[in-house]
Structure 1
Amino acid sequence: MFHTYDEAVEWIHSLLNHGIKPGLQRMEWLLERVGNPERRLKCVHVGGTNGKGSTISLMRHILQDAGFVTGTFTSPYIKTFNERIAVDGEPIPDEDLLAIVNDIYPLVKEVEETDLGSPTEFEVITLIGLIYFGKVAYPDIVLIEVGLGGRLDSTNVIYPLVSVITNVSYDHMHILGHRIEEIAFEKSGIIKSGVPVVTTIEKEEALEIVEEAAVSKSSKMYRLGSEFNYNNVTYTDEGEHFDFSSPYKTYEQLPLKMKGPHQVKNASAALMALEYLRTFYGVHYTEENLRKGLEKASWVGRFEEISESPKIILDGAHNVDGVKSLAETISQFYPEKNVKVIFAALKDKDFDSMLQHLYPIVKSMTFTSFDFPRAAKAEELYEAAKFENKMAVENWRDAIGLELDNITENEMLIVTGSLYFISDVRKFLKNEKEF
């Protein structure tokens, strides 16, 4: 048993050694023994390749402004471990996490001795979240982000009021498959019988797979560009404004603080899910709540400006579509800037496919690495990049120091790649008094 919060978190992290084990049997076994707290929750399940966290943040801020106590389960964390499990934006208190870990530790040791084997780190974190929401915090509604894939993800033990699939693109292919249809099949696995699904999927071959799954589950689909839509997007230094239409409500020139064309899509998915909840479940909010929520919502580590002078932006663009969205956002909001990039990624990523979206818009690229078992070396990234003005600096602190020492007024620095990398950089830069 554990006496301190730090001991509890250290034990959770030690479960990383058990790797990734897709499947729901261990979760079902554990949840049954703690009284199935997930059955007490009113949930929204959010899957997809990119945009899950942003969509959840947008929904949470609107619901919270309307007075709903809102739980969120997200990953990975950027600032603190506890932020993965939060209520109204407040991370689970250390003492509650410690108490829950001590309650479940004997069960985890017990299941290890069965044919099911040891739970993974993410399974245990999911279990802690469901217990906290269902037996301790009792939020009005819980927004739950899929960890990996969907069909066999440990969060797929819930039965939500509505499901959201933001998009489907290539990521985690060693687990989810190398064809977009295979990845879509895994993502569509969160669709439950009779539960509607909201999606912003644009790839036709992926959409067809999700549509088939929805039909087989008698689930109504709300598709971007069909059942709901956005238009008349305008861009300012503060973000975007856009019109939104759905079968239930139309809004004009809604404000959005999160920058980028992809965030308008995420906001539209969030609004469609909320409109469904308001229409069929009495989750009432006003247009004022909606506007205030959209203006307040942000997502740490996603096109996050942490310095105005010099201009420094952090963005956890960790796959091809993420980097493509980053490039579009830079072009939209900072066309006059000379862009310098620091990039680090995990070994299993398709570096060249990711980076080619940045080549046309950046002035220089610095490749680096960070302290993580699967982090690629700076030299690996350097060799993979088909870009002339580049360099490799293995230590990321040195890379940042070098760029900041030489940045000029008309330049901006984008630090991007793995979210684990962004987490380290953010802590470092936030602690710096001067750049």
Structure 2
Amino acid sequence: MNYRQAENYILSFTDYEKIPGIAYTSANYDLRRMEKLLQPLGNPHLGTRTVHIAGTKGKGSTAVMISQTLIAAGYKTGLFTSPHLHTLRERIRINGTMISESDFAALVTKLKPIVEKINNESVYGELTTFEILTAVVFAYFKDSRVDFQVLEVGLGGRLDATNVAKADVCVITSLSLDHTEILGDTVAKIAAEKAGIIKHGCIVVSAPQVEEAAKIIEQACRQQRARLIQVGKDVTWHKTDSNLRQQTMKIKSKTGDYDLTIPLLGDHQLENAATALAALEVLVCLGAKISAQNIAQGFSQVSWPGRLQILSHEPMVVVDGAHNAYSMSKLVEFIKN
């Protein structure tokens, strides 16, 4: 297959991103078929240091801050995010560079007979677009021998295709009502699905949450004997300056103080930055060599289009991907200020 054929092949399967209201149950999202897909590839999702990120808002921004800092520290870093703006390949990056068309096509070609076999047997249901794409990600990162893989959950957490990975640090960004027809109509129900990424004995970083979500996350950590770091309590921050190009901030943790610049706008990005920093400090505790200078460099080099992105000053044109009440409120707050 060439790239166009490979892309069309993946997109020919059920794509829950385009079908609203599919019940978030193991009947539709069965991780056993994901494991069955990865097994003939040598289980590429295992054995790589992993940061796994769930949440309603801020997942991608937090992921790219972590990834960019790991790159600055000299680590070969795979980044998987969704959705994309222009091409499917944007979702899959190593050291900031998209997967090539030839590598993408080769991996899909390799996966095709395995996919056909699993779908013909249909023991656990048929594979979806996102599941096949996630398998491409794991195989690409393993073949490329990345030092770290930073994975953004596609939908929910508990039953998401990325949840077959064994994370060193699990991150839960800000939670609010979104995909309510799938994940539940309360923040507590949504939090329970997001907290499904918490594995036994892992370390969890949580962004500030409303009380009902915080209780669910704390309960999940107790059940899994997972250590919980709460941004806003264990890690605090405040803005020191901002303009229409960047923001500066000070973050204070139990291990140090950081003066950082981020080229992302909006107060919510300061929260994302504090959350990313807390996750990076966990990686340091687990043996990663990441200096304060690496963190400052990584954060200052972040690029994440479509998030309060100013395209023009005269006239003022701002592009933002807000699509729920919480993110719309942040957009309005930014414009008013």
Q: TM-score, normalised by structure 2?
A: 0.93
Partner of 2:10: 12
Partner of 2:318: 313
- CA distance in 1 between counterparts of 2:187 and 2:220 reads 15
Secondary structure of the equivalent of 2:93? strand
Aligned: 1:162 with 2:160: no
Partner of 1:125: 133
For each residue in 1:82-120, what CA deviation from the matched residue of structure 2 results, as whole angstroms up to 9, or x when unmatched?
A: 111110111111111111111111111111122222201
Map residues 91-240 of structure 1 onto 2, 5 A cutoff. 91-114=98-121, 115-134=123-142, 136-240=143-247
Aligned: 1:260 with 2:266: yes
For each residue in 1:303-330, what CA deviation from the matched residue of structure 2 results, as whole angstroms up to 9, or x when unmatched?
A: 1122233322210001111111111222
Aligned: 1:303 with 2:308: yes
Contact 1:249 1:275 in 2 (8 A): no
- CA distance in 1 between counterparts of 2:162 and 2:34 reads 9
| Aligned residue pair count | 327
Map residues 269-280 of structure 1 onto 2, 5 A cutoff. 269-280=275-286
The Cα of 1:166 is off from its aligned counterpart by 0.4
The one-letter code of the counterpart of 1:124 is I
Secondary structure of the equivalent of 2:233? coil
Runs of 4+ in 1 over 4 A off after TM superposition: 17-20
- CA distance in 2 between counterparts of 1:237 and 1:288 reads 24
Contact 2:30 2:125 in 1 (8 A): no
- CA distance in 1 between counterparts of 2:306 and 2:268 reads 15
Q: TM-score, normalised by structure 1?
A: 0.73
Query: What is the aligned-residue RMSD (CA, Å)?
Result: 1.4
Contact 1:248 1:279 in 2 (8 A): no
For each residue in 1:373-395, what CA deviation from the matched residue of structure 2 results, as whole angstroms up to 9, or x when unmatched?
A: xxxxxxxxxxxxxxxxxxxxxxx
Secondary structure of the equivalent of 1:37? coil
**Aligned in 2, Cα 1:289/1:261: closer, same or farther, shift over 3 Å?**
same
Contact 1:109 1:118 in 2 (8 A): no
Select the residue among 286, 289, 299 that pairs with 1:284.
289
Paired-residue identity, %: 37
**Aligned in 2, Cα 1:232/1:89: closer, same or farther, shift over 3 Å?**
closer
Select the residue among 327, 331, 335 that pairs with 2:336.
331
The Cα of 1:71 is off from its aligned counterpart by 0.6
Q: Any stretches of 5+ residues in structure 2 without a counterpart?
A: 23-27
Bigger RCO (CA 8 Å, 6+ sep): 2
- CA distance in 1 between counterparts of 2:188 and 2:254 reads 29
The one-letter code of the counterpart of 2:141 is F
For each residue in 1:204-232, what CA deviation from the matched residue of structure 2 results, as whole angstroms up to 9, or x when unmatched?
A: 00010010000101101111221111125
- CA distance in 2 between counterparts of 1:32 and 1:260 reads 43
Select the residue among 30, 38, 42 that pairs with 1:31.
38
Q: Any stretches of 5+ residues in structure 1 without a counterpart?
A: 333-435
- CA distance in 2 between counterparts of 1:273 and 1:188 reads 16
- CA distance in 1 between counterparts of 2:314 and 2:113 reads 52
For each residue in 1:145-198, what CA deviation from the matched residue of structure 2 results, as whole angstroms up to 9, or x when unmatched?
A: 000000000100000110100011111111101111110000000001110110
- CA distance in 2 between counterparts of 1:81 and 1:227 reads 37
Contact 1:255 1:295 in 2 (8 A): yes
The Cα of 1:65 is off from its aligned counterpart by 1.5
Secondary structure of the equivalent of 1:15? coil
